[in-house]
Structure 1
């Protein structure tokens, strides 16, 4: 399977986010080093700065195929092609609600626009990805017709967007299998939004059903509830489905933190795969198991995705956690010291204060009556 990262387009459409050209290029290069297969570097028609960011990423990306979004019109397509991209991502809505209230076009008019825009983009010498916006709320027969029209006009790949996140995994599986059976064999992307918290699950279901490309964003950033998270889809595909993903998975944590910093967003600690709590353990039962064999309470090794294991001291801690923490500080965990520290940790944590290394050092000094030099 392949990954189409749209952090720099759909991700940046997150309310309140506006990246500079240099910030977009920095993220683009990080994605290229991560070895995503496609980078949607932006929407070149939006502004001169956007076009410049797209152009610089297209120039400097050594691995990924670089794309720009374009509405189904010549001006947008020209702006994308003039930014020197490898692929133009042409889209138009195919759901009745979008065609009636947004486009104010009939079905026949939409089909003509699809054919004209895809043919024009191909005449400019680029590869074309065609998206049927709001595909998952479109009439199924008309959706098939729209995709066939795009493919016959020269579209190299197609994309099935769940624009407002209304799918469930079983519905997504049915839709992908149906489209695969009805359409010529071109690569199929899926683009899932997280309005009901199922973007990753729907993406994985689509991949299991035969879709070849997952459209994702780093940290799941994007409009409203966000998009399918790159790191979660990648880890699930690799460690649950056993797929070869091609990504440098060990760079996921680092890339996640870079994007979060430049977006100005602090990640929640329990974020799957790349959160600081993703491989953290406080419960004494869990710590005992993990220290004997990590797979007792971890589904994958943290280092595989660039994260690390954290043993946290708190009200749920047991002796094994304290022994581990003392050893990490270079101290011998005698039974008497462990008993004392464990009592102090539970008392301290009850006041909702963090039991960090500074606090632990103070407890050791209390027990010994002399300073501890670390």
Structure 2
């Protein structure tokens, strides 16, 4: 049986996440996000790019002085000026990014020779200011594999704390990602590898999990997958995928995921889709009558994750077009109302009719309104008795 190292999460919500178009975090918002990430057990945060300006560098420094338990990292281009700014910002370490694909090198008017020379020079310079220096292979997924391995080999020789393999444009799929990481891991066994996946084709979470299984124990993520274009691998999705699909304990406090996800959604002005995996508002909801009948006996029948693991209460069943008698009985029993089979049948029909007309679900209040209308017509209660019962719940 393959033994995996414990996943090591590097959250880059404050750096790559904030690079999402139109997203700006205030210092107070950054500190609160850091506090939640710290409480959740994230061991390392990439908290910004000092070269962005004095204000950014000052805020990075303030965050570093808050006393959080996580390790802090500053993102830098491959030049000495960026490294000096990072050193002044007070982070524990520095990440140096290099263009390793020809398309990026040509656009930046660089070449492979420049990359290798600059790697040696800037690493030596960074090491004189930081004990913790990580190296980034930007656009590694489109680089020539032999050059990429040469680049990774030099980073290891110089003493890099780890090497980031970045799928900068999100071109990898789980199979190609697994093969790439496996090949590099086999060549440079013992060198910590990090996967930094983008979600352009909707595979960032899957690619991150695949990379971990191939040997990259360091996982670069953002809350909600926030990031440039289609975003990055989502922290909450990667962690729960490893825990639920591979039974790998990530050592994180998953009960904070809902609060963390909602907070980052709020401060980024990015509304969470209702069906967003793990933390969407409806992902633990159920409407289908076939499902709810089984769910009332055992939630595990049609629900993988217990709501409590995400810091949520279990949700009531959705009342709508696909509801069956089991849902009707559930709500009648919830209100301590008599469960009459004829009424259940009529309610089920009426619910479907209203849901079709609304093109949506029926609220609990609407459910009870329909119920009392049926009972009134059925003359099961007199006018006086009917009026005295709370049917507006």
Shorter-chain TM-score: what band?
Answer: over 0.9
Match of 2:20 among 14, 19, 31: 14
Residue 329 of structure 1 deviates from its aligned partner by 4.1
Question: Structure 1 stretch 360-369 or stretch 235-244: which is displaced more?
Answer: 360-369
Contact 2:318/2:361 (8 A) holds in 1: no
Greater mean alpha carbon deviation, residues 233-242 or residues 26-35:
26-35
Alignment match, 1:109: 114
**C-alpha distance in 2 between matches for 1:326 and 1:60:** 52
**CA separation in 1, counterparts of 2:58 and 2:363?**
46
CA spacing shift, 1:128–1:331, aligned 2, 3 Å:
farther
CA distance in 1, matches of 2:214, 2:26: 38
| SS of equivalent to 1:92 | strand
**Structure 2 counterpart SS, 1:13:** coil
CA contact (8 A) 1:122 1:154 kept: no
Match of 2:38 among 15, 20, 32: 32
Larger Rg over CA atoms: 2
8 Å Cα contact 1:274/1:307 also seen in 2: no
Alignment of 1:1-374 (within 5 A): 1-102=7-108, 104-183=109-188, 185-310=190-315, 311-352=317-358, 353-366=360-373, 367=375, 369-370=386-387, 371-372=389-390
- Note the alpha carbon deviations across 1:5-58, whole angstroms, 9 max, x for none: 111111111111111122122211111111112111111221222223322322
Q: Which moved more, 1:146-155 or 1:235-244?
A: 146-155
1:331 Cα deviation after fit: 4.1
- The size of the alignment, in residue pairs, is 373
Structure 2 counterpart SS, 1:125? coil
Shift of 1:168: 1.2
- TM-score relative to the length of structure 2: 0.90
| 1:83 positional shift | 1.6
Structure 1 residues 14 and 343: alpha-carbon distance in aligned structure 2, compared to 1, 3 A threshold: same
Q: CA deviation at 1:62?
A: 2.7
Deviation, structure 1 residue 362 = 1.9
- Secondary structure at the aligned position of 2:13 is classed as coil
Distance 1:7 1:332, change over 3 A: farther
Instruction: Please list the CA deviations of residues 308-336 of structure 1 after superposition, one character each: whole Å capped at 9, or x if unmatched.
Output: 43310001001111222333445454434
Shift of 1:229: 1.0
Q: Indicate the SS of the match to 1:351.
A: helix
Q: How far apart in 2 are the matches of 1:79 and 1:184?
A: 33
For structure 2, the residue ranges without an aligned partner over 5 or more in a row are 1-6, 377-385
Deviation per residue, 1:160-185 (Å, 9 max, x gap)? 00000111111111111111122251
Task: Give the secondary structure class of the aligned counterpart of 1:10.
Answer: helix
Contact kept in structure 2, 1:3 and 1:215, CA below 8 Å: yes
Matches of 1:115 and 1:329 in 2, distance apart? Answer: 71
Deviation at 1:118, TM superposition (A): 1.5
Is the contact between residue 72 and residue 113 of structure 1 (CA under 8 Å) also seen in structure 2?
A: yes
Deviation at 1:271, TM superposition (A): 0.6
Displacement after TM superposition at 1:153 (Å): 2.3
Deviation, 1:150, is 2.0
1:65-96, Cα deviation, whole Å (9 max, x unpaired): 11111111122112222221112111111101
Cα RMSD (Å): 1.7
Partner Cα separation in structure 2 for residue 323 and residue 61 of structure 1 = 53
Q: Distance in 1 between matches of 2:81 and 2:331?
A: 61
Q: Deviations over 1:109-165 (max 9, x none)?
A: 111111111211111033111101001111111111112222222311111000001
TM-score by length of 1: 0.95
2-structure distance, mates of 1:267, 1:22: 22
